[in-house]
Amino acid sequence: MLICSTVKDLREALSSKALSPVGFVPTMGALHAGHISLVEKSVGENPVTVVSIFVNPAQFNDRNDLENYPRMTESDIKLLSGVLRTDDIVFIPPEKEIYPGNEPEVIFDFKTLDKVMEGAFRPGHFNGVVKVVSRLFDIVMPDVAYFGQKDLQQVTIIRELVRQQNRKTRIISCPVVREPDGLAMSSRNLLLDPEIRQHAGIIFKTLSAASELICSTDISEIKEFVREQINKTPGFSLEYFEIADDLELKPVTMKTEMVPGRRYFGCIAVRAGGIRLIDNTEFNCSVIKG
């Protein structure tokens, strides 16, 4: 695999290989099995894969979160070298390659998509995500890009970005990869205090139990159940839990609002010690009762 740090080197490497389709896995590093599953999928489906590692300051609404975000480029490269082939590329740009300083400030309009859930709790976050994804797409020009379903709202918004900008890139969403206790893999798990980590399986355990209630129980009661389960776990507090579809991301308050044929997901954000974790799982009931 080739490691590039400038846009020029990356473009030259891709042009000289002239391989297509180009698969792309954008990451912020601190790679784990979830990222590797995306890379493996891209490698299996495309003759060339580009993996980017760039901790994007524009998407952090909290300075501490940006400063504490784990950075481990050496071990990331080692991990990638076990999956990537000779023609594949790891792109690790310095900030000035991504944001040279002369780019116009673009404000994206995603209507309600970025106003709920993560968007409501992390103002400006999605504007920063699409800013970097749009820039990375301009640089890599991928045919296919792979994202984790753990960030369900991010995937929906990136699909909308591709639609609005009339891009050719196909967006593939890949299943959440979990630790043995159900905790969704995340770079942030590395920051968890050991005592908190020991109990973090409660997040997926609660989501799974709540998903089983969807056919028989009112949404307000399901929400109450989730709140109780999380908040009674020492060191954990619920930020939000919503049931929303993956197209409009519209949280529902009653089952009669659920549109038949759509896929619904229980989406959760939890403060675990000082660390913020998100997760989601599908909530479906073929017979929707009021």
Establish if 157 lies at the interface with ligand PAF (CB under 6 A). no
Give dist(CA 4, CA 160) in Å, integer: 29
* Tokens (6 digits) for 100: 């040279």
Distance of closest approach, residue 215 Cβ to ligand PAF, in angstroms = 32
Matching residue, tokens 């299943």: 175
Establish if 242 lies at the interface with ligand PAF (CB under 6 A). no
Establish if 118 lies at the interface with ligand PAF (CB under 6 A). no
- Residue 281 contacts residue 211 (beta carbons within 8 Å): yes
Helix (H, G, I), strand (E, B) or coil at 80: helix
Give dist(CA 38, CA 151) in Å, integer: 13
What radius of gyration do the chain's Cα atoms show?
A: 19
Nearer to ligand PAF, 135 or 223 (CB): 135
Is 199 annotated in the active site? Answer: no
Residues 266-285, interacting with ligand PAF (CB under 6 A):
none
Among 133, 155, 162, 275, binds ligand PAF (CB under 6 A): 133
Establish if 222 lies at the interface with ligand PAF (CB under 6 A). no
Active-site residue, selected from the candidate residues 32, 35, 125, 199? 35
Ordered strands of the 144-148 beta sheet = 2-4, 89-91, 48-53, 22-27, 144-148, 170-174
Establish if 28 lies at the interface with ligand PAF (CB under 6 A). yes
Q: What are the start-end ranges of the H helices in 109-151?
A: 118-121, 125-140
Residues 176-215, interacting with ligand PAF (CB under 6 A):
none
Establish if 129 lies at the interface with ligand PAF (CB under 6 A). yes
- Residue 232 contacts residue 118 (beta carbons within 8 Å): no
Nearer to ligand PAF, 55 or 222 (CB): 55
Establish if 132 lies at the interface with ligand PAF (CB under 6 A). yes
Helix (H, G, I), strand (E, B) or coil at 33: helix
Among 59, 127, 186, 211, binds ligand PAF (CB under 6 A): 59
Distance of closest approach, residue 273 Cβ to ligand PAF, in angstroms = 21
**Helix axis angle, 152-164 to 125-140, nearest 10°:** 60
Nearer to ligand PAF, 51 or 244 (CB): 51
Which residues are known to be catalytic?
A: 35
Q: Residue numbers of the site for ligand PAF (CB under 6 A)?
A: 26-28, 56, 59, 129, 132-133, 151, 154
